[in-house]
Amino acid sequence: MPPIRKHLPSPAKSNKSGKDKIPLPTDPATWRESLIPPGEMITSSQAYKWYQIKHLDVLNEIEWEPFMSLTHNVQRPITRVTLVASHRKIERKAWEKHGGPERWDTYQIRRKIQWNKQVKGTRPYPEPIIGKLSDNQAVAKLQLEGKIPPDGQSPTDLLLSKYVTSTNLRQLYQEFILRFSVPWVWEKCNSILDAAGVFADAAREIHLGNALVMLPLYPLRTGRRQLRAKSSLRRRMADVLRRAPRKGDSNMDVIKHPSGQILHVWSKAYLTELYEILKKIFDRYGMEVWKKVRYNVYHTYDRCHGSMHFNSYDGTWSDPAFQWLAGKAEPGSFIHSERSRCQAGIEYNEVLPEEDA
């Protein structure tokens, strides 16, 4: 199948044959009313696929909001974050780009004909679809489920997170998405507050506001490269993580924190084995694979010791497991990290990038 050309004929160019003449540009005041329902939103990828408008090009002209959607694969649900904007505004921008709705319609017809010639019916033409992320559809679904969105809240919010129950929480939710980029931080913080018995919206808003400032910036689990299925390092890594000591195991070390607290931590022997494998993975496969593997260690540490922590006494947040996601530790923080407890950890810290990318 021949590749589809990126630059398709523009309606601004005249047809030499004289057939299918392209309408002249018209005054925006005379443009027809949009058929798209008010309040309907589309994602940035849909804006580009349907209207060839990149969100970065209209970032200052159209308001974009973070949107968290839930998809499913064979093993588990996956939460994704994207940007959404008014479908009507995107359509209007396309009209402005082409000189009016009639010229846009002509461009669509010509582009669809060329598309069908090139792909020969193997893929449908990506024309705009009305009804994506529609508030009307969201309301209908909520009504079927017996739910009513609170005052001042978009109906789509309840479909995204059960913790968005007020206007202030909706604002915090958006700030969480913009700051952390990974939606699981919002869900994790709220589940911790549930366990701590914090259910009132006012108290939850205060504690979530503190979490927004106190918690570290969690990196994305990016990168397409992964450890090969038959890789010996992959088998060794899986074996080491499977044997991760839990609190109360005999192969745990007991240390005294400067604050006087007694801590049960992974033994030096186990840390040495783990850091040696992590360093080999980084040296052999590079940063892209390491970005994925480090999250496996983070989740293992979470199962053994816990990760994100909320102190209900003073309202502070911390995450001792974050050290497994961080890049090269600075001297001030290095002495308090697990890496400083063995030579393998010191060598592992040296090969890591200064800042996480």
- What does the alpha-carbon distance between residue 282 and residue 278 come to, in Å, rounded to a whole number? 6
Structure confidence at residue 279 (pLDDT): 92
Q: Is the pLDDT of residue 343 over 70?
A: yes
Comparison of pLDDT for 227 and 354, the residue scoring more: 354
Res 261: pLDDT: 66
Q: What is the pLDDT of residue 276?
A: 93
| pLDDT at position 148 | 47
Is residue 139 predicted with pLDDT exceeding 80?
no
Q: Using alpha carbons only, what angle is made at residue 134 by residues 132 and 136, rounded to the nearest 5 degrees? A: 145
Res 317: pLDDT: 93
Q: What is the pLDDT of residues 160-198, one digit of tens each?
A: 567 878 888 888 887 887 787 667 888 899 999 999 988
Q: Give the per-residue pLDDT at 356.
A: 53
Look up residue 348 and give its two tokens. 């592992």
pLDDT of residue 259: 62
Residue 336 has pLDDT above 50, yes or no: yes
Beta bridge partner(s), residue 263: 255
- Smallest CA-to-CA distance from 68 within 153, 176, 142, 167 is with 176
Amino acid identity at 132: K
Residue 185's closest CA among 47, 48, 89, 325?
325
Is 142's pLDDT higher than 60? no
Least confident of 46-50, 151-155, 250-254: 151-155
- Is the pLDDT at 8 greater than 70? The verdict is no
Q: Select the more confidently predicted residue: 122 or 3.
A: 122
Q: Is the pLDDT of residue 277 over 70?
A: yes
Domain ranges in the chain?
A: 232-351
Structure-block tokens of residue 31: 């443009």
DSSP annotation of 200 = -
Other C-beta atoms closer than 10 Å to the C-beta of 303 total: 13
Q: Is the pLDDT of residue 69 over 80?
A: no
11: Cβ–Cβ under 8 A, 6 or more apart, which residues? 22, 98, 99, 103, 104, 106, 107, 110
When pLDDT is averaged across residues 325-338 and rounded to a whole number, the result is: 81
Rounded Cα distance between 66 and 334, Å, is: 35
**Rounded to the nearest 5°, which phi and psi values hold at 256?**
-110, 120
Which pLDDT tens digit goes with each residue over 231-244? 788 888 889 999 88
Higher pLDDT, 215 or 180: 215
pLDDT at 66 over 80: no
Percent of the chain's residues with pLDDT above 70: 75
Q: Residues 54, 59, 61, 66: is their CA dihedral positive or negative?
A: positive
What DSSP state is assigned to residue 120?
T
pLDDT tier at 258 (50, 70, 90 boundaries)?
Answer: low
> Would the CA dihedral through 24, 27, 32, 34 be positive or negative?
positive
Residue length of the chain: 357
In the predicted model, what is the mean pLDDT of the chain? 77
Give the Å distances, CA to CA, from 77 to 69, 220, 326.
10, 17, 26
Q: Is the pLDDT of residue 311 over 70?
A: yes
Evaluate if residue 272 carries a pLDDT over 90: yes
Split at pLDDT 50, 70, 90, the class of 215 is very high
Q: Indicate the pTM of the whole model.
A: 0.56
